[in-house]
Structure 1
Amino acid sequence: MVSGKKFIYAKAFNGQPTIENFRLEEFQLPDTVKDGEVLFKAEYLSVDPYMRPYMARYPEGVLMIGEQVARVLKSAHPKYPEGSLVCGKFGWATHTLIKPDEKDFSTLFPLPDLKGQPTSYGLGVLGMPGNTAYFGLLEICKPKEGETVVVTGAAGAVGSVVGQIAKIKGCKVIGFAGSQEKCDYLVKDLGFDYAFNYKTDDIKESLKKAAPKGVDCYFDNVGGEISSKIIGHMNLYGRISVCGAISAYNSKNVTLELAPILQPSMVFQQLKMEGFVVTRWADRWFEGIQQNLKWIAEGKLKYTETVTEGFLNMPQAFFDMLNGKNTGKAIVKV
């Protein structure tokens, strides 16, 4: 038998998540597989902002959701040879036994050749967050050379890639992040033109300074008042890609989260605003990965990870990520 551990969603979130929301359990799996089955062992697990609001869809007592890079321990399936690596939405568990043919594309796929890049990148720039940046920016905002692009949550797994892709496309890029250290990283290391600390800098004055002619594209990771102010500074026919609303994820009552009204800016500037979930482009998934990989090889795209050691520290890594303590992708190494 194989011994594993998993975290159960023990208590529904109400405001800021705490350790009381999770329960650690041990389990046993057979060390042999039947026809069509594969036994996986997690090597890296992801913690992402989306997990916080998505769990409202699930009842208490289920396995906590999430993606991982896992290695095939035992296989009776030709597509998943023993020793190979996969990306799978296996949740917060050290081991998983499934029949892959019963899973859809967006749930499980062999990790592509990352050309020598860390395998953990399959959870970041060469995985879901990288594709979120790639498709969310290029398919919705459609930035043109010389335009001004603003991104919030700019030092995170998605935002940091969004800004760099916008620079590759010849745009001026302005980022908002939660510390001066992160702002310095965005400008000095990633090549952003400007970066502002939303906790200490005046949003409107920052935009007047960095974008005196207005904003053409806004990649929104956070929602809330800051987004209203950015949208109010947009140019005619501006485009807004809505990826998330991190500012309200830990609220005890999201319906009470108020922000300045958007409609006047939307109407008079004739803006386009569109939300998305990245699996919309599941049929083009490897296009995004291969393009981001090419940009990394060319030195045009840089990436950072915040790594937490040990499966038992999954909840703490999750809390830290929600509180903005990570730069780049937050992952857990088993």
Structure 2
Amino acid sequence: MSTIPLSLLDFATIYDGERPGVSFTRSVTLAQKAEELGFERVWYAEHHNMKSISSAAPAVLISHIGAKTSTIRLGAGGVMLPNHSPYTVAEQFGTLAELYPDRIDLGLGRAPGTDQNTLGRALRRSPNAAENFPGDVVELEKYLADESIIAGVRATPGAGTRVPLYILGSSLFGAQLAAKLGLPYSFASHFAPTHLEEAVGLYRETFVPRAEGDKPYVIAAVNVTAADSTADAVRQHEDVKRAWVRNMAGRGRYLTDEQLDDVIDSYAGHQILDMMRYTAVGTGEEVRDYLEKFAAHAQADELMLSLRAPSFEESLRSLEIVADNRPELNA
């Protein structure tokens, strides 16, 4: 029986008191360890104006990590395409594809990856830009395939690289678009679990093959906290939950432990915690069993793991534990 392909989503986390550069050093270490352990790929998401996430420029980060790894696939999970011109993205990821052949992925999302103030005033993105997302995806793909879009304009680098595209989503919109375009689909179930079953079902039912033999391909994201004992995994998970609620509810305001307890016990707190509904917590065997059931539930061909631990050292240990207890397909 074959194992389920496993990949990583790295937020390049900045801990309190650090410069972003420290997080980049850790990202290199994480990618090297994932490569050593046989993981499929590592993706980095475009976020802006978030003090604890330093992956604002995925293409730049990918280039840095590509130079310090050898075989693992690297990609954006994703680039928020309405923030950019398709031509610019084609040049950026075409450059990466030339530097690291057959190792680059390009996941595409239509969300802004930030708050509305940053969106309108700093990124200067039109509030209606997301409406052009389907057309922008097609335009980007044509640049990468070296098909004419504008007379006399060619993406160099980019043309002919055919960087693999993935549609990211957390709703039915992305599922419908990915199916219509015959592209792989990645669902953000690690923080937006609500429409997972419906979206994946719709994608698989309406998938339009581009060529004979093409099949739908689903990557489902899931949180993981693995430890050497159940008790330690539960302890880590409790710390992660509190940090998650503090970050989501605080919005830049400091919350005392007492205030945080009140929020966690509230309806709003329960909603915030439900965003992490799909989380594997426990020993290697316990996490493996959870991931096998989750993969079946999500009809997933591949799992994108978001490691959730209070420290980087605990994240690395979690990675090792998962690698030693790989979930199997059709379990």
> After TM superposition, is the score higher than 0.5?
no
TM superposition score normalised by structure 1: 0.30
TM superposition score normalised by structure 2: 0.31
Structure whose residues are more often strand by fraction: 1
